[in-house]
Structure 1
Amino acid sequence: MNTIKAVIFDMDGVLIDSENFWSIAEHEIFTSLGVQINSNETKITKSMTTSEVSRFWYDKFPWKGKSLAEVEEMVISRVIDQITNQDCQIPGIDVFIKLLKSNNFKIALATNSPKKIIDPVINKLAVSECFDITLSADQVVSGKPDPAIYLKAAHLLQIHPTECLVVEDSTSGIQAAKNAGMVVAGFTNLNKNSGLGMADYMLNSFCNYEHLPLCFDKTNTSSNNCK
């Protein structure tokens, strides 16, 4: 931790529990256009950006009457509606981010989700003032697992990649951060997620940390009892 100057957060699954929101939105929108969604193929689309998902389903079940951009907007709007109206905050994340900020870390967000979703999320958590920068896959050539978004975040923060710590909950996100040369804390969300073995540290809760270095202690098994 002595060499870390910036902490970069993924969003979905780290700041908010939103995986089900995407599943609901995509199922509603794409099936209404005649797409025959099946569970095997949704596993493929899980790590894609919204535009990539739209193209994926269009290539298999071409629809008429709406452009890819219009369909993407429909999915995004449905997700934002759920974020706004449901309790989806990961317990303790707001306090955790504020603790980092008060200890003079630079704070960034780097997500595969569309840029339009970022403000609704950080405003919901009341942490918008804590972030030095926010980035979406919309703003780089390729989304995760490509390292581009993390390299751009480090460039904008004016921090060397090796001095950045990334908090990620997915294999593709961890791969992107590692390929960018960054230290990675895999957020297990109480062991809901697997496949995080590439991470340098494991983090299972954003609660009950009195001292910052403990946040990324490999042996930490602190339970999540935030309210």
Structure 2
Amino acid sequence: MVKFAQVKGFLFDLDGVIANTSVYHAKAWHQLADELGVTWTEDLGNQLKGVGRMDSLNLILKYGGKENDYTEDEKIKYAEEKNDNYLKLLDTLDKSEILPGMEDFIKDLAAHHYLISLASSSKNSPLVLEKLGLAQYFDEKVDPATLKHGKPDPEIYTRAAEVLNLKPEECIGLEDASAGVTSINGSGAISVGIGDPKVLHEADINFNDTSEVTLDNIKKEMDKKKF
């Protein structure tokens, strides 16, 4: 069993964990879904959380019964169009979009000399961290272009530990989506789910929102569950 004292690194998802950029992603995907004639629903939006760009597009097409209507080249074009829309929306992003408590938590991790990496499926995550003023606290970032599998496959969290020269078992991963929690669990890291515990029931530790995420609270939960 892993004890809190054995934890050396923290692996972060970005959208919905560090900042509200998930809202920008949803708006950009909504715009594209409208263009493709696919009805946007809250359920569809939830399915896209934590999922990579091409996988998200394929989910939208499948949701609308259009999975066989486009060539791979056309899909790439639409995925790029979504990204262009997303980048335009990001122009207004600043520190005010950091979720409650997350800036203090990340600074506290750095002050306690924990290693920190980013495990985001978004290729724009380095830009987002720069705009949020948090990039300097991250020792490494996983390049999603180098991955063969998206979440819920564990590859991204396995890699997020590797780039820190740590074993996943020495790390804690933070996610707000069920696909991400499954990914963390599959890697062997300890999973912290942020959000509705009914949705994120597979997480080792649950917090209702980011304001509850502190080193002390994580230690309390680990001690309580005797990891």
Q: TM-score w.r.t. structure 2 length?
A: 0.80
Instruction: Tell me, yes or no, if the aligned pair for 2:34 and 2:40 is still in contact at 8 Å.
Output: no
CA drift of 1:4 comes to 0.3
Q: What is the CA-CA distance between 1:206 and the residue it aligns to?
A: 4.7
Which residue of 1 is the match for residue 201 of structure 2?
Answer: 197
How far 1:13 moved relative to its partner? Answer: 0.6
SS in 2 for 1:167: strand
Structure 1, residues 82-121: CA drift from partner, whole Å, max 9, x if none? 23314432122122111101111000010122x1x11222
Counterpart for residue 35 of structure 1: 37
Question: Which stretches in structure 1 are left out of the alignment for 5+ residues?
Answer: 220-227
* Structure with greater contact order relative to length (CA < 8 Å, sep ≥ 6): 2
> For 2:210 and 2:140, how far apart are their aligned partners in 1?
21
Higher helix share: 2
Compared with structure 1, are the counterparts of its residues 21 and 151 closer, same or farther at alpha carbon in structure 2 (3 Å cutoff)? same
CA pair 44-161 structure 1, distance change in 2 beyond 3 A: closer
Other-structure match for 1:225: none
Segments of structure 2 that go 5 or more residues without pairing to the other structure are 223-227
C-alpha RMSD of matched pairs (Å):
2.7
1:55 is matched with which residue? 58
Aligned-residue offset at 1:43: 4.8
Which residue pairs with 2:173 in the alignment?
166
Structure 1 position 63, deviation (Å) = 5.6
Does the 8 A contact of 2:51 with 2:121 survive in 1? yes
Please state whether the residue corresponding to 2:97 is helix, strand or coil. coil
The range that moved more, 196-205 or 89-98, is 196-205
Q: Distance in 1 between matches of 2:101 and 2:215?
A: 14
Deviation track 1:8-38 (CA, whole Å, cap 9, x = no partner) reads 0111110112333222211212322x32224
Letter in 2 for 1:123: E
Say which is worse superposed, 149-158 or 14-23, in terms of deviation.
14-23
Q: Among all aligned residue pairs of Structure 1 and Structure 2, give the percentage whose two residues are the same amino acid.
A: 23
Task: Give runs of aligned pairs for residues 63-82 of structure 1, distance below 5 A.
Answer: 67-82=74-89
Amino acid at match of 2:12: F
SS of structure 2 residue aligned to 1:157: coil
Given candidates 10, 35, 38, the residue that maps to 1:7 is 10
CA distance in 1, matches of 2:129, 2:173: 17
Call closer, same or farther: CA 1:25–1:181 in 2, change over 3 Å.
same
Which is worse superposed, 19-28 or 44-53?
44-53
Distance 1:147 1:54, change over 3 A: same
